[in-house]
Amino acid sequence: MTAIASTQFTHSAAIRPRATLALVILATALSSLEVGLVNVALPTLAATFGVGLVTIQWVVLAYQLAIVSTLVLFGRLVDLFGGRRLYLSGMAAIATASLLATASQSALWLILARGLLGLGAAMLLSTGQALVATAYPDAGRGRALGVMHMAVAGGLMAGPAIGGLLLATIGWRAVFLAPVPLALGTFFWAWKILPRGIGQRHMPLDYAGALLVFIVVLTAVLGMTQLARHGWGGRAAVLIFLAMSLSLLLVVVERRRPAPLIDLSLLAHWNISAGVVVAFLTFIALASNMFLIPFALQDLMGYPAAPAGLLMMTAPLAILPTALLSGILADRIGNRLPATAGLVLIVGAIVGMSQFRTGTAIWFVLAVLILYGVGAGLFQAPNNSAVLGAAPADRVGTISGMLALSRNLGQITGIALASTVWTWRQAHYEQITSPPLSPLALGLRDGFLVLAGFGAVAMVISMMKRNQKERTS
């Protein structure tokens, strides 16, 4: 038996695993869909409200900041009050925020609505894996998490296409209105399906820890955002140093709390600490595809936007079947091998990306992106299953929130590092009289290789994790 038990609900028999998994899939797809739906509409929104890039970027940033700064808090609330309340609250927040965004009369109105929507998404992200871990405490958890990650890939892939279609045929307000029917329908279904949780309401909430986590994460994300845009120095250096200092204060405070928000003793379990660190490092490496690949395809290799977008769909298409396969493998042979194999493929793919040049054959581009997608699909479900399988029953929500936070912080850190290394190295090569390749190609190459280095460290740590095989009977 794993460390997870069905303590979040009044009676474990009341849990309906397949229905619960379906609800988690809908929530996950909805959160992923929100990203692509809005990103494609940013130029139109800037023109509509008469604002520049500096202002309209907060439509995206408000959503991201609200998510990353509250994931651990909401994860702890799942432990205290059960998954039902947080799931329903998250769906209600998304429906309300989407309606507010649809009715926006100014950029500020829209930004505030997106912040509220981010809070709803954070509730769902913190709840999702905890619900899966509770519904599948032993056999089948890997497969369930694999299906969940298929929903992530599907949502990210469908978002830009649906958003572009709505923008072209109806208008920008339809982009924000689209999620409302799904959110409302899922809310009422969840109201009937999810059992009422008993949680641990006798335990106090660590308000000081929650506030410190919020400030630390917010400061770190703002610092990384400044680093990506303006390089090291000035505001970026101050914010990152402040985040590091506050992190040390957080450790001191949490050690002294009787019921800390982040129980540092949990990190003494190797599979938990290693899994969280590996997730963070891996998502730094995955910034290669999320951030550098569009520039490599369009600016370096000369593909127009539409063909480049089609090429980039190769990776999520490869993730879809592989995510399910990785979950099945994790249930049958344990988590370590498929997770580590996925990291080997990711690192190999990123090294392949570093070889992209003007005139690179399209078959090589497709092969590298497919390799990347297969690796990403293999990695996530087994790694998450290993972490959740080691979590104490009364801390599943907190660990789920920490995993989600590590992924999101990894993405933001990876984009900041990739941008900084690329621009720094390209400027360096531009000073060389006769570089062997174009400064753009060399700068991107160095950016890819740095990210591959983070993936390699994650691969080594993943190999050192204890193997866990879920019971099948």
Range of the domain at 53: 1-202
CA distances from 376 to 129, 228, 325, 342 (A): 18, 24, 12, 6
**142 shares its domain with 17:** yes
Q: Which two tokens stand for residue 216?
A: 């630390």
**126 shares its domain with 211:** no
**27 shares its domain with 140:** yes
pTM comes to: 0.79
Q: What angle do CA 114, 119, 121 make, to 5 degrees?
A: 90
Most confident of 91-105, 320-334, 427-441: 91-105
**310 shares its domain with 391:** yes
Q: Which two tokens stand for residue 334?
A: 């344990």
CATH number at residue 424: 1.20.1250.20
Element housing 24 (H / E): helix 17-39
Q: What is the pLDDT, as a whole number, of residue 332?
A: 82
DSSP-derived secondary structure for 248-308: HHHHHHHHH-SS-SS-GGGGGSHHHHHHHHHHHHHHHHTHIIIIIHHHIIIIIT---HHHH
Are 366 and 310 a contacting pair, CB within 8 Å?
Answer: no
Listed residues 215, 238, 260: the one ending a domain: 260
**252 shares its domain with 383:** no
Look up tokens 């770190």; give the residue.
220
Look up tokens 């309300």; give the residue.
96
Out of 199-208, 288-297, 374-383, pick the least confident.
Answer: 199-208
Look up tokens 């009787």; give the residue.
258
Confidence of residue 348 (pLDDT cuts 50, 70, 90): very high
Query: Structural domain tally of the chain?
Result: 3
* Nearest partner of 205 among 331, 355, 77, judged by Cα: 77
Are 278 and 461 a contacting pair, CB within 8 Å?
Answer: yes
Q: Max Cα separation, the chain?
A: 72
Long-range contacts, stretch 391-396, CB < 8 angstroms, 24+ apart: 391/3, 391/4, 391/133, 391/266, 391/272, 392/3, 392/266, 393/3, 393/4, 393/5, 393/7, 394/7, 394/79, 394/200, 395/79, 395/263, 395/266, 396/4, 396/8, 396/78, 396/79, 396/130, 396/133, 396/134
**161 shares its domain with 26:** yes
Q: Distance between CA 199 and CA 192 in Å, rounded? A: 19
Phi, psi of 368 (to 5 degrees): -65, -45
Q: Distance between CA 239 and CA 333 in Å, rounded? A: 44
- Segment 295-340, tens digit of pLDDT: 888 888 888 867 877 788 888 889 888 988 888 888 788 888 999 9
CA distances from 413 to 287, 354, 417 (A): 9, 19, 6
**211 shares its domain with 198:** no
* Nearest partner of 217 among 466, 366, 375, 412, judged by Cα: 412
- Segment 152-177, tens digit of pLDDT: 777 777 777 787 788 888 888 998 99
Average pLDDT over residues 205-228: 80
- Any alpha helices (H) in 103-206, and if so which ranges? 107-135, 141-169, 172-177, 179-193
| CA atoms within 13 A of residue 302's CA, in its CB half-sphere | 6
Listed residues 219, 241, 260: the one ending a domain: 260
Q: What is the pLDDT, as a whole number, of residue 66?
A: 87
Q: Distance between CA 280 and CA 408 in Å, rounded? A: 8
Q: What is the pLDDT, as a whole number, of residue 59?
A: 84
Q: Which two tokens stand for residue 349?
A: 């793919």
**273 shares its domain with 255:** no
Are 160 and 85 a contacting pair, CB within 8 Å?
Answer: no
How many beta carbons lie within 10 A of that of residue 273, not counting itself?
17
Q: Which two tokens stand for residue 254?
A: 């949490």
**181 shares its domain with 251:** no
For the chain, first and last CA: distance in Å? 10
- Averaged pLDDT score across all residues of the chain: 82
Q: Which residue has the higher pLDDT, 189 or 309?
A: 189
Task: Tell which phi-psi region holds residue 27, choosing left (phi > 0), alpha (psi between -120 and 50) or beta.
Answer: alpha
**Res. 140: pLDDT tops 80:** no
**198 shares its domain with 255:** no
**3 shares its domain with 30:** yes
Most confident of 52-66, 127-141, 242-256: 242-256
Confidence of residue 14 (pLDDT cuts 50, 70, 90): low
Q: Distance between CA 321 and CA 377 in Å, rounded? A: 8
**371 shares its domain with 470:** yes
